């Protein structure tokens, strides 16, 4: 194959993106230069944060940024050999010419019994987000209760399982369907979960956590944040990871009506960006890999096949059609 296929963004969306905001393009396969490696992408990551990039972070009519796992086809760097798998950020395309000196480029370690795709899910940015949120930001302690919003997504499914590993006393999740609620409880070990579409998030969280919660990992914002502030006990902590409830709105929603309770309860709320915590990835990997190998933690993923599916996979994430981390498989391992 002598061509590369790309996805370009063609316009800034109003509200929810559509397939018409993207176009598939082709170009010649790039030539390897000293210090670069040519990779064939095998797995691509599509993530909620990319919706924010569509509002000006991505250049229109140009290849897009995204996490990817690729197989080295040809190397101009002594640190990589043909056949190696590498993590890089040149996603949304079938092939990429990668700068081997880029600090974000790294070899992908092989662990017995652990699928390659996990380096984009629980061993990648989604799993690390859960670790940073619960351990570094919220400092979850054994016996404490934790509430996780968007709990059936990539970060949420990792966070619920991590909370159990850390000895949380009660793990509660919100999700957008009855099937996802059952999955959280029956398959991933959540103590309780509820469908936020069934009624007041505040009332449902109060029922699921009658004694209150100590920690909230926020992936949603809006009414979920207001509900969490209501249920948090004194000196509780909020680790704010994302706000998918407002990514598509031209204007941000009103602040939670009970925002001053943060003062009254002496709560601590801190936002974070996982890219500032990449140095913790080896620590997270050392913790979670044995649990993946034992089966105590599972890599919850929705994998779709084919490069042609990448746009629909991304739109599916924004509409909540995934369970766990959404990944696009573009080539055979």
pLDDT of residue 250: 66
Class of domain 3-121+299-329: alpha beta
- Cβ–Cβ under 8 Å, residues 119 and 68: no
pLDDT tens digits, residue range 317-327? 999 999 999 99
- Name the residue among 32, 42, 37 with its Cα closest to residue 67: 42
Nearest Cα residue to 65 out of 41, 92, 104, 96: 92
Q: Which one, of 63, 62, 68, 61, lies nearest residue 47 by Cα?
A: 68
Can you give the residue ranges of every domain in the chain? 3-121+299-329, 125-275
Name the band, by pLDDT with cuts 50, 70 and 90, for residue 251.
confident
- Topology of 125-275 in CATH? Rossmann fold (3.40.50)
Alpha helices for 138-215 (secondary structure H): 154-165, 178-182, 201-208
Where does the pLDDT of residue 1 fall: very low under 50, low under 70, confident under 90, or very high at 90 and above?
low
| Mean pLDDT rounded to a whole number for the chain | 95
Residue 245 has pLDDT above 70, yes or no: no
| CB contact at 8 A, 1 and 29 | yes
Tracing tokens 């509002």 back to the chain, one arrives at 55
pLDDT band at 254 (very low <50, low <70, confident <90, very high): confident
For 163-204, how does the pLDDT look when each residue is reduced to its tens digit (9 = 90+)? 999 999 999 999 999 999 999 999 999 999 999 999 999 999
Reported as a single tens digit per residue, the pLDDT across 7-32 is: 999 999 988 999 999 999 999 999 99
Whole-number pLDDT of residue 252? 72
């Amino acid at each position: 194959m002598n061509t590369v296929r790309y996805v370009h963004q063609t316009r800034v969306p109003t509200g929810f993106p559509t397939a018409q905001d993207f176009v598939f393009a082709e170009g010649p396969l790039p030539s390897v230069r000293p210090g670069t490696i040519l990779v064939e992408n095998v797995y691509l990551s599509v993530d909620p944060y990319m919706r924010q990039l569509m509002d000006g972070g991505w250049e229109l009519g140009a290849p897009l940024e995204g996490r990817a796992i690729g197989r080295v086809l040809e190397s101009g760097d002594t640190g990589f050999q043909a056949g190696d798998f590498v993590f890089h950020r040149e996603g949304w395309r079938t092939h990429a010419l990668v700068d081997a000196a880029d600090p974000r480029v790294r070899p992908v370690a092989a662990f017995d019994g652990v699928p390659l795709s996990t380096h984009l899910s629980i061993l990648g940015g989604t799993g690390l987000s859960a670790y940073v949120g619960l351990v570094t930001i919220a400092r979850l302690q054994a016996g404490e209760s934790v509430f996780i919003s968007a709990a059936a997504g990539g970060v949420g499914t990792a966070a619920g399982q991590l909370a159990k590993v850390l000895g949380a006393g009660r793990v509660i999740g919100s999700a957008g369907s009855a099937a996802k609620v059952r999955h959280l409880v029956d398959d991933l070990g959540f103590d309780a979960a509820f469908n936020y579409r069934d009624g007041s998030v505040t009332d449902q969280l109060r029922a699921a956590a009658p004694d209150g919660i100590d920690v909230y990992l926020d992936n949603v914002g809006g009414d979920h944040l207001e509900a969490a502030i209501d249920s948090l006990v004194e000196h509780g902590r909020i680790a704010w990871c994302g706000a998918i409830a407002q990514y598509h709105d031209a204007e941000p929603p009103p602040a939670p009506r009970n925002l001053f309770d943060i003062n009254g309860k002496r709560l601590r709320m801190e936002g974070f960006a996982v890219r500032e915590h990449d140095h913790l990835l080896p620590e997270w990997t050392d913790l979670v890999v044995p649990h993946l190998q034992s089966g105590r933690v599972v890599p919850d993923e929705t994998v779709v096949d084919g490069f042609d599916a990448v746009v629909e996979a991304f739109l599916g994430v924004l509409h909540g059609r995934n369970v766990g981390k959404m990944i696009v498989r573009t080539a055979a391992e």
